[in-house]
């Protein structure tokens, strides 16, 4: 597979995904309640085999899934992605018992997963997290808070990152698999701009043992960063899908809209704007595919490439959706319009899984690391 073009089978698969999103997923998404987990939608993703594919596919396949679904049904895309983000550490680092208990349930769409990294004082600065894991016999007790956690407080289990050692920064952080019914674990929903569920979690002496550790004690930061390196390009793919949906809508609208004695598309200011939108979308798509292909190949520079892909694609999607709104006029701001929906959806990806400013910091850091000569 070349980085710069998809094989015919991949193109056909993307078309099939869009059709499934249109006929089977979008109707369930419409019945969902904003701010709550849509369990019938998650179950249908399982029925279609897409959730199991999260654990058998590479980064490029993940990007193709996310872009294809996002182009038609952002709710389905997000439900899929959150299952992957929350459960990938179990797939990649879990014990045989953890994997046997949870992965079949996630793959079938019966269990909802969540990735619990961010805290009130540690969002993009993941190394600053403060959730404390206090030694207690053969295990630990978790005390503290998590915030801005997608699928909280309705998930069935959480991949939780807590500080088990006295070291500051990335050291001394351990990843735990914490079922939602553990005593002392409570949560509350947050009313956010994005329609998918986001909440806060409170840990009041929540018991965990060595059997709940994902990977090694003290190795949790690696679990978090390796998961994000896989998912960051696919956040870019989500953004590209939304940008493409906005471009598709703009092409249709400007081709049929009468204005100034002709069609809107006949105005040079309009068709140049549309050309710029298409240029940005395709550029972002290529960088996303290149980053995902590098991850799959085990190539050098994956953190830099992943950061570049997320940064370019999310910033591009914001620009393209905004331009689409401008070309549609007031109708695009009416509640329920596709572009009104995309305008709300497109803002958050520039913040979560590392804000745009953090991606720039990662890119610069990696560039200096890779530069020849003494630093």
C-alpha span between 309 and 77 (Å, rounded): 18
Class of domain 222-370: mainly alpha
Residue 123: what pLDDT?
A: 67
∠ at Cα 219 (215, 222), nearest 5°?
95
Number of Cβ atoms within 10 Å of the Cβ of 16: 12
Whether residue 169 has pLDDT greater than 70: no
* Mean pLDDT across the chain: 93
C-alpha span between 259 and 332 (Å, rounded): 17
Range 113-218 has CATH code 3.40.190.170: no
Residue 196: what pLDDT?
A: 84
What tokens appear for 68 in the block?
């294809």
Q: 8-107 has which CATH code? A: 1.10.540.10
Residue 111: what pLDDT?
A: 98
Q: Report residue 8 CA to chain centroid gap.
A: 26
Number of Cβ atoms within 10 Å of the Cβ of 191: 7
Whether residue 374 has pLDDT greater than 60: no
Q: What's the average model confidence in pLDDT over 353-359?
A: 92
C-alpha span between 115 and 355 (Å, rounded): 17
Q: Judge whether 288 and 309 are in contact, CB under 8 Å.
A: yes
Closest CA to 242 of 84, 45, 25, 69: 69
Percent of the chain at pLDDT > 90 equals 84
Whether residue 1 has pLDDT greater than 60: no
Whether residue 253 has pLDDT greater than 60: yes
Instruction: Say if 113-218 and 222-370 have the same CATH topology.
Output: no
**pTM for this model (two decimals):** 0.93
Higher pLDDT, 340 or 122: 340
- pLDDT grade for 166, boundaries at 50, 70 and 90: confident
- pLDDT grade for 293, boundaries at 50, 70 and 90: very high
Q: What's the average model confidence in pLDDT over 36-46?
A: 97
295-333: per-residue pLDDT in tens? Answer: 999 999 999 999 999 999 999 999 999 999 999 999 999
Per-domain residue ranges of the chain: 8-107, 113-218, 222-370
- Whether 353 is a known active-site residue: answer yes
C-alpha span between 15 and 210 (Å, rounded): 45
Residue 2: what pLDDT?
A: 47
Percent of the chain at pLDDT > 70 equals 96
Which member of 105, 119, 353, 366 is catalytic? 353
Residue 3: what pLDDT?
A: 56
């Amino acid at each position: 597979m070349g980085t710069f073009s998809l094989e015919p089978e991949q193109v056909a698969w993307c078309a099939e995904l869009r059709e499934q999103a249109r006929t089977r997923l979008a109707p369930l998404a419409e019945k969902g309640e904003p701010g709550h987990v849509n369990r019938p939608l998650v179950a249908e993703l399982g029925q279609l085999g897409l959730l199991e594919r999260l654990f058998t596919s590479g980064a490029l396949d993940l990007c193709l899934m996310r872009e294809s679904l996002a182009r038609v049904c952002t709710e389905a895309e997000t439900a899929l992605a959150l299952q992957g983000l929350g459960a990938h550490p179990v797939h990649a680092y879990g014990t045989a018992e953890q994997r046997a208990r949870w992965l079949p349930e996630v793959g079938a769409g019966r269990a909802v997963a969540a990735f619990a990294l961010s805290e009130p004082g540690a969002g993009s600065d993941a190394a600053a997290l403060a959730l404390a894991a206090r030694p207690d016999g053969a295990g630990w007790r978790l005390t503290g808070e998590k915030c801005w956690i997608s699928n909280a407080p309705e998930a069935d289990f959480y991949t939780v990152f807590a500080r088990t050692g006295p070291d500051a920064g990335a050291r001394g952080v351990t990843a735990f698999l914490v079922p939602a019914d553990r005593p002392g674990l409570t949560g509350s929903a947050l009313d956010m701009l994005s329609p998918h569920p986001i909440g806060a979690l409170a840990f009041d002496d929540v018991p965990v043992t060595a059997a709940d550790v994902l990977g090694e004690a003290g190795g949790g930061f690696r679990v978090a960063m390796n998961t994000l390196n896989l998912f960051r390009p696919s956040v870019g793919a989500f953004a590209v899908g939304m940008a493409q949906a906005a471009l598709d809508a703009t092409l249709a609208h400007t081709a049929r809209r009468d204005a100034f004695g002709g069609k809107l598309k006949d105005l040079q200011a309009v068709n140049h704007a549309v050309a710029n939108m298409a240029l940005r979308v395709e550029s972002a798509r290529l960088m996303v595919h290149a980053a995902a292909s590098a991850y799959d190949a085990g190539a050098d520079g994956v953190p830099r490439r992943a950061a570049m892909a997320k940064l370019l694609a999310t910033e591009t999607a914001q620009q393209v959706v905004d331009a689409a709104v401008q070309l549609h006029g007031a109708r695009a701001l009416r509640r329920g319009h596709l572009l009104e929906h995309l305008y709300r959806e497109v803002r958050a990806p520039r913040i979560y899984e590392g804000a745009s400013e953090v991606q720039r910091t990662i890119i610069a850091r990696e560039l200096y690391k890779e530069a020849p000569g003494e630093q």
